[in-house]
């Protein structure tokens, strides 16, 4: 059996099909995480958009 930590509260959670909220421990923790994404508290790094779509992105 695989056990992971809930990304929101850190509680140990069994990674099984019976846990419909995996990797979260509960619906509450799942909604807290979704709310953080909606409030833009998390972001995925990427290149800034350019004004000219034909111009390759610059590094730096």
Q: Is 12 annotated as a binding residue?
A: no
Q: Is 57 annotated as a binding residue?
A: no
- Assess contact for 24 and 6: CB atoms under 8 A: yes
- DSSP-assigned letters across all residues of 14-58: E-STT-TTTTSSSHHHHHHHHHHHHTT-S----PPPPS-TTSPPP
Q: Is 6 annotated as a binding residue?
A: yes
Task: For each of the domains in the chain, give its residue range(s) and CATH number, in order of start.
Answer: 3-38 (3.30.50.10)
Identify the pLDDT of residue 45: 83
Give pLDDT tens digits for 42-57.
888 887 766 666 766 6
Tokens of 44: 């995925």
Instruction: Tell me the whole-structure pTM to 2 decimals.
Output: 0.65
Give pLDDT tens digits for 5-53.
999 999 999 999 999 999 999 999 999 999 998 888 888 888 776 666 6
Identify the pLDDT of residue 56: 66
pLDDT at 59 over 60: yes
Tokens of 10: 């850190």
Distance CA 26, CA 52 (A): 45
Q: Is 19 annotated as a binding residue?
A: no
């Amino acid at each position: 059996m695989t056990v992971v930590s809930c990304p929101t509260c850190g509680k140990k959670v069994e990674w099984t099909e019976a846990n419909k909220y995996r990797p979260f421990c509960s619906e509450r923790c799942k909604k807290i995480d979704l709310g953080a994404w909606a409030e833009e508290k998390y972001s995925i790094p990427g290149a800034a958009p350019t004004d000219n779509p034909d111009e390759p992105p610059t590094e730096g």
